[in-house]
Structures are given as C-alpha cells and as structure tokens.
Amino acid sequence: MIVNVASECGYTPQYQQLQELYEGYGDKLAIVGFPANNFGGQEPGSNNEIKSFCSLRYGVTFPLAAKIDITAHPVYRWLTRKSENGVADSRVDWNFQKYLLDENGCLIRSLPSSASPLDDEILDWLNS
C-alpha cells in the first residue's frame, strides 16, 4: 500500500490505523508513506520532524519515504497514469489517498482519503 501522508491533516489520525494494519498484516502487507506538502500546506516539517512526529504520536514503524512533491515524483506519476501502470488513470485529490498493489507491484486499485485503512474493502483484499 502506498499512501501520501501529512502531519497536519484532518485525516492524520489514519496513521494509527495504518500502523494497526501494518502490525496485523505485516506478513502479507507492506505500507510506505510518502509525506507530501501538496494539499493545504499540511506537511510543512522536515523529514526528521515528520519521522519524529509519526513515531512519537502514532507509534509508526512502517517505512516513510523522504518528503516528496506528488505532482513530480516518479512513483506518483506511475500510480496516476494508466499509460504507465496499465490499469487506470487517477488523480490524488487530498492527503491519505491509498493505492493497493499486489505482491508483484501491479496496481490493484486506489481508495480515497476518506477510506479508513481498516475499511472492509482493504481487509477483504488482504484476506482473499
């Protein structure tokens, strides 16, 4: 799962749910958070500040990439362009949008920011 994250967003408490998911399904799920300041200036911190915040406030142990600009980063270019991922075009509308990839790195689907990391759609996918 790839998630664009931010420390000052209304969805920031999803860090806790992402950590629960990571702890509960770590044998079959990798989560990578990509801090980004693209929406509302909600990730103003440095990489060290972001990591410290996530660790101290939410106990995050899943990997966090260095802060990116999702409009220019190659991972997000791949995730959002059907011509590159072979599955679908998408647009990142806000922080905490989730992208599900299979064990071979193929895009399965994206879920909106409002979808909880513990949403039935994600849990069903993991349990299938």
Q: Which residue has the tokens 């599955």?
A: 87
Q: Which amino acid is at 33?
A: G
Indicate which residue of 2, 5, 6, 9 is catalytic.
9
CB 97 within 8 A of CB 113: yes
Q: Whole-angstrom Cα distance, residue 109 to residue 94?
A: 16
Q: Whole-angstrom Cα distance, residue 83 to residue 55?
A: 36
Answer yes or no: 9 catalytic: yes
Q: Which sequence positions are flagged as catalytic?
A: 9
